[in-house]
Amino acid sequence: MKKLLLPCLSVLLAGIAAPALAAGPTHGATYVAMGSSFASGPGVATRVPGSPPGCARSTADYAHVLARKRGLHLVDMTCAGATTADILDRSQAGQPPEIDAVDADTRLVTITIGGNDLAYIGNLWAESCLRRPDAVPAAWHPQDCKVVPEDQVQAASRRLPMQFHRIIAQIRARAPHAEIVLADYTNILPSHGSCPQRLPLSPEQIAAGRRVAAQLARITAEAAKADHVKLVAASAVTMAHDVCAADPWVSGFRFPPNPRVFAPVPYHPTGQAMAAIAAAVDRAL
């Protein structure tokens, strides 16, 4: 009888423990969000009070939506324009490297990064600007629109996997009990066709942008797999809502009159995209 009860007891205890392990960070746990503008959410809802204006950090970015849902203590370090170097090594917009917010109390870290390393959005902006300079207010300096050459983009893409590895390794060293989630970028470009009013690019430029987007998604997924962290494919979650879709979850090529205004900027996720990504992260946890 004892031989029968012991295995049954162990199975019962495992069944009780499993939901707790699968539940992710609990109410009140510290959550650090890191990444670029696709995490900070320019123009979505309102700017986070007291946050650096240059970071364009939204009260409804996916980190804030997730933190409210789970009752987490959020430290939002996301910042528009951030590269992997801004997470790891250098200050930006008056704040220290984003990773400095991670410590032994951190229980969740989300990261959306790499697009600026590969000049993904920057080149879409610059190419659109060169084709439609009349659509860019003078305060945004349309004369400064410059496309990063392909060889530089590819050189950055070869460095990016190691940068992901460095970020994950440093998080684990600082916060050994933290859950880590990589979320890639909201889908921007249609799988076919175009919409010149929202996306003033040639078919060749759109195809090149798709290749960079696919490369970024692949590098992010491979980094998550190699370092055994969770992946949320925001690109897949938002695939049907590209800039040319009937229900787009990214802004078209339209600028606010002044860069200092907290308002939507071209080719960036809307509140619908942020809510969908937050729900995907929640499911992953």
Task: Name residue 76's amino acid.
Answer: D
Cβ atoms of residues 39 and 33 within 8 Å = yes
Q: How far is CA 218 from CA 183, 208, 234, 239, in A?
A: 12, 15, 12, 15
Between CA 131 and CA 20 the distance in angstroms is 54
Q: Which one from 40, 128, 251, 268 is the annotated catalytic residue?
A: 268
DSSP 257: S
Q: Which helix (H) or strand (E) holds 216?
A: helix 203-226
Q: Which one from 36, 37, 51, 251 is the annotated catalytic residue?
A: 37
Between CA 253 and CA 53 the distance in angstroms is 22
Give one DSSP letter per residue of 60-123, joined into a string: TSHHHHHHHHHT-EEEE---TT--HHHHHT--BTTB--GGGG--TTEEEEEEE--TTTTTHHHH
Between CA 283 and CA 285 the distance in angstroms is 5
DSSP 47: B
Q: Is 73 a catalytic residue?
A: no
Between CA 44 and CA 41 the distance in angstroms is 6
3-state secondary structure of 187: coil
DSSP 250: B
Q: Is 268 a catalytic residue?
A: yes
Active site residues: 37, 268
